[in-house]
Amino acid sequence: MWVFLSYIFTATIRLGTPIALTAVGACYGQRTGVNNLGLEGFMTMGAFLAVTGSYLTGNPWTGVLFACVAGAFMAVIHGFVTITCGGKMAVSSQALVLLSTGIASVGLLAVFGTMGYSAQVASITKTPVLANIPVVGEFLSGFSPLVYLAVVIVILLNYVLYKTPVGLQMQACGEHPRAADTAGIRVNLMRYIGVIISGILGGLGGAMLSIGSMNLFQEGMISGRGYLALGAVTLGGFSLKGAFFASILFGFFDALQLYVQTLPSFPIPSQFIQMLPYAASLIILIIGSSPKRRNKAPAAIGQAYSFVSGTR
Amino acid sequence: MEKEKIIELKNVSKVFPNGVIANRNISFDIEKGEVHAIVGENGAGKSTLMNTIFGLYTPSSGEILLRGRPMKISTPSDAISQGIGMVHQHFMLIQSFTVLQNIILGAEVGNKAKINYKKARKEVMALSESFGLRIDPDTLVMDISVAMQQRVEILKVLWRKAEIIIFDEPTAVLTPQEIDEFCDMVLRLKKQGKTIIFISHKLAEVMKVSDRITIIRRGEVITTKNVDEVDEKKLAVLMVGHQITLGGGEKKVIESSEKILEVEGLAYAENGVNKLNGVSFTLSPGEIVGVAGVDGNGQDELVDIICGKKKPDSGKVEFMGRDITKNTIGEIRDMGLATVFEDRHKDGLVLSFPLKDNLILGYQARDKYLKYKVFRNEKAISEDAEILKERFDVRCSSMEVPAGTLSGGNQQKLVIARETNFSPKMLMTVQPTRGLDMGAIEYVHNKLVEHRNEGNGVLMFSLELDEILQVSDRILVIFDGKIVADLPNKNVTKREIGNYMLGVTKKEDHDSEEN
């Protein structure tokens, strides 16, 4: 029993963190009014560039930096199309997903000369510093430092959003951009900051998947986690903490799925078991998306406020 | 001594990218410490002008001087930093924020790392007390009344230390008592040295609080007057450009023994509440019947049943001798009973559709608009649209622009144009002049009487007693789901109708009261 619990807990954290990082970022972006449906693409880019960075320099932290920069860069593209030009957020997002898938396959060939898989690179799946803590040290050191980074980021962003002037102004941009504008707030600047944060965290989420829990990149390894992150934001009622814990819940189902697969001679075919996290998230979303929770969505989410498109 | 001119406009014009000229060569000035009203009809360009002064729009040409120097305002924050604040017609408040958060937003108290809400609350409350603006700082804006929302807006502006405050149609959303309070507040602000610019088409308030009045018509300044030089009547004429006569003008005498509409014993209940308790009345050709009543006494249900949206529990509706109780909305309309609904945004127009498409909504399947009985006949639709635009004086740059870009008056003209286009035997209108200015009201009244004079029947529901008395041939009063009075509109007083509306006088004791 202890073994089972320990396994499930570890796997939940390991599998939940990439979703959580991405979801918290997405939630932040949405609170400023920018919907980023292309998280799948941000994670793909993050995962791939993290491995590339680690491969090229031998240092996994360079990989993490690469992933963040890639995420920020894609966010700027998304921001330019949707914030500055007032383009449709869904269209821009889908374009970024396709772009990132393409770059990842071409990049695999260009950097590693392989198809489908990258070479194995230096990774950061453990936090050896913590091993010195008595009793729980060994257990805690078994997680990637990115897990701890994620917790710090959630606490930090939560503080910024709810306690600081800039956080209040960002929320205003997501609720009523014109009102924010008339209050002298630079709406589009706030929205760029929001979307870039979502981009960086999306990239970080991808990095957590590739070098934070494995040591290579594999095409299709994101397998819908970007979309799960979006679901986590809704389920979490558009609060950063909510998004974080909803993501961990999705991580739990993923972990459960993995565990069941390891059981010898389990009667249900593994393909069905692999469906578990997605089916569970669908059911949770249906049950959890009460009108009350949906009403918590920022009032102006997805509404452009741009001179170019005449929506300002 | 000449007062200091705080704002001077010199030949300011604003042309929108779609070619609409909202302001043309506007020149006037605003003196420090005065209440300056800017009046004009809906769509005359008042709001555009104020948005230009506030920095939401940049003028296409011309110059604005602020305290004698060319004003360099390109964003609202520039305006704020130069002491100009604006209370918008549609409040710029964030529903999910508290009152306090809304007031301090963009000008927070505390340092960059933390908002000091405690200090902010204290300072905001002190400000609210010094101007006598009662607020409840910790309530969410979505939970407070419209009047309090307006106070929050004003405090927002004062919080930013505005010296010049622009009010855009501030009284449009207020009840009569709230309007009185508002006027007092404006005078209080003036006393404290603020300069007030007050945009409105409600002349009573304008006369009450202003020092000077600038009249704008069709994007141009007509004149600026001191308040003692004019009265409400003169202002109305200046605003619209001609003498206003409400009531629709001359009514032809039309004798007819037939009935267009016969309603008999309609009863209807919803969720166990009786909305209609045996409503009966008739409508004859060449007659405008006005239905008066306090809102919520069964008018909505009666309208819905006559037009076919709802089915009564008992009773029947006969139109031109045919029982239409069980017919659908479309069938009833095709028989010649057209309806102009109360909410033109919800029931009358598709705001994002071009005007010409709005003009065929509900009539799109008429042969006139079809080619080979299947396809849209674009040519016929456009031609018809141009004719209606001309005939109904719809002011727009083209019939291709979305209906949402028009002013309320022009939108209502559009709906009436569409509904009378096929000369329906009966026109039912609900609050036909809600939210319209004098010129547009006059226009709508004229159209209703015109339709009547062609030998058709008009059934008009209205909450405005003046309107009922001005336009109707016969007056019905609905109270508690019953018609409690059915009087020819001769020597009827407002008071008399009012008593019926409130249920003070009953049908039975009407005679005894007259004796």
Residue type, B120: A
Same domain, B180 and B67: yes
pTM: 0.76
Same domain, B35 and B53: yes
Question: What is the pLDDT averaged over residues B250-255?
Answer: 81
Banded pLDDT at B511 (limits 50, 70, 90): very low
Residue A294 is predicted with a pLDDT of 56
B245 domain residue, yes or no: no
CA–CA distance, B416 with B421 (Å, rounded to integer): 8
Print pLDDT tens along chain A (312 aa): 788 888 899 999 999 999 999 999 999 999 999 999 999 999 999 999 999 999 999 999 999 999 999 999 999 999 999 999 998 888 999 999 999 999 999 999 999 999 899 999 999 999 888 888 888 888 889 899 999 999 999 999 999 999 999 999 999 999 999 999 888 899 999 999 999 999 999 999 999 999 999 999 999 999 899 999 998 998 888 999 999 999 999 999 989 888 888 888 788 888 888 888 888 878 877 877 666 655 678 888 888 888 776 676
A164–B114 CB contact, under 8 Å: yes
| End-to-end alpha carbon distance in chain B | 64
User: CA B5, B11, B14 angle in degrees (round to 5)?
Assistant: 115
Using an 8 Å Cβ cutoff, are B216 and B38 in contact?
yes
Using an 8 Å Cβ cutoff, are B167 and B198 in contact?
yes
In this predicted structure, the answer to whether residue B507 has a pLDDT above a threshold of 70 is no
Q: Which of B7-16, B36-45, B72-81 shows the highest mean pLDDT?
A: B7-16
CA–CA distance, B267 with B263 (Å, rounded to integer): 11
Last residue of a domain, one of B205, B240, B275: B240
Q: Could you report the per-residue pLDDT of B295-350, keeping only the tens digit for each?
A: 888 999 999 999 999 999 999 999 999 999 999 999 999 999 999 998 888 888 99
- Using CA of residue B107, residue B111, residue B117, residue B122, what is the dihedral sign? negative
Query: What is the ipTM score, two decimals?
Result: 0.86
B247 domain residue, yes or no: no
Same domain, B355 and B331: no
| End-to-end alpha carbon distance in chain A | 59
Interface check B350 vs A, CB under 8 A: no
Same domain, B437 and B499: yes
B252 domain residue, yes or no: no
Residue B514 is predicted with a pLDDT of 41
Same domain, B155 and B126: yes
Measured in angstroms, the CA of A183 and the nearest CA of chain B are apart by 6
Same domain, B204 and B220: yes
Please classify residue B401 by burial: count the beta carbons closer than 10 Å to its beta carbon, then call 0-12 exposed, 13-18 middle and 19+ buried: middle
Banded pLDDT at B405 (limits 50, 70, 90): confident
Same domain, B384 and B297: no
Helix (H) or strand (E) holding B458: strand B457-461
User: CA B197, B199, B204 angle in degrees (round to 5)?
Assistant: 110
Same domain, B47 and B180: yes
Measured in angstroms, the CA of A165 and the nearest CA of chain B are apart by 6
Strand segments, DSSP code E, in B284-333 are 287-292, 314-319, 322-323
Interface check B113 vs A, CB under 8 A: yes
Using an 8 Å Cβ cutoff, are B464 and B487 in contact?
no
Residue A184 is predicted with a pLDDT of 86
Q: Which chain A residues are within 8 Å of B83, Cβ to Cβ?
A: none
Last residue of a domain, one of B373, B401, B421: B421
Cα–Cα distance list, B360 to B349, B400, B465 (Å): 10, 13, 32
Residue B155 is predicted with a pLDDT of 94
Using an 8 Å Cβ cutoff, are A180 and A169 in contact?
yes
Strands B69-70 and B61-66: what pairing?
antiparallel
- Measured between CA atoms, the residue of chain A closest to residue B108 is A165
User: Which one is predicted more confidently, B247 or B453?
Assistant: B453
Interface check B344 vs A, CB under 8 A: no
B246 domain residue, yes or no: no
Would you tell me which residues 164-183 of chain A have a C-beta closer than 8 angstroms to some C-beta of chain B? 164-166, 168-169, 171-172, 175-176, 178-183
B253 domain residue, yes or no: no
Same domain, B228 and B313: no
Last residue of a domain, one of B172, B207, B240: B240
Q: In chain B, pLDDT over 90 holds for what percent of residues?
A: 48
B251 domain residue, yes or no: no
Of A164, A169, A299, the CB nearest to B105: A169
Residue B513 is predicted with a pLDDT of 42
Q: Which chain B residues are within 8 Å of A178, Cβ to Cβ?
A: 92
The number of folded domains in chain B is: 3
Q: Could you report the per-residue pLDDT of B414-431, keeping only the tens digit for each?
A: 999 999 999 999 999 999
Walk me through the domains of chain A, giving residue ranges and CATH numbers.
10-127+138-294 (1.10.3470)
Query: What mean pLDDT, rounded, does chain B reach?
Result: 88
Q: Which CATH number belongs to the domain containing residue B169 in this structure?
A: 3.40.50.300
B249 domain residue, yes or no: no
Same domain, B332 and B366: no
Same domain, B107 and B203: yes
B122 domain residue, yes or no: yes
Same domain, B414 and B451: no
User: Which one is predicted more confidently, B73 or A163?
Assistant: A163
User: Which one is predicted more confidently, B442 or B407?
Assistant: B442
**Which parts of A32-83 fold into alpha helices (H)?**
39-57, 60-79
Residue B457: give the domain boundaries.
258-336+424-515
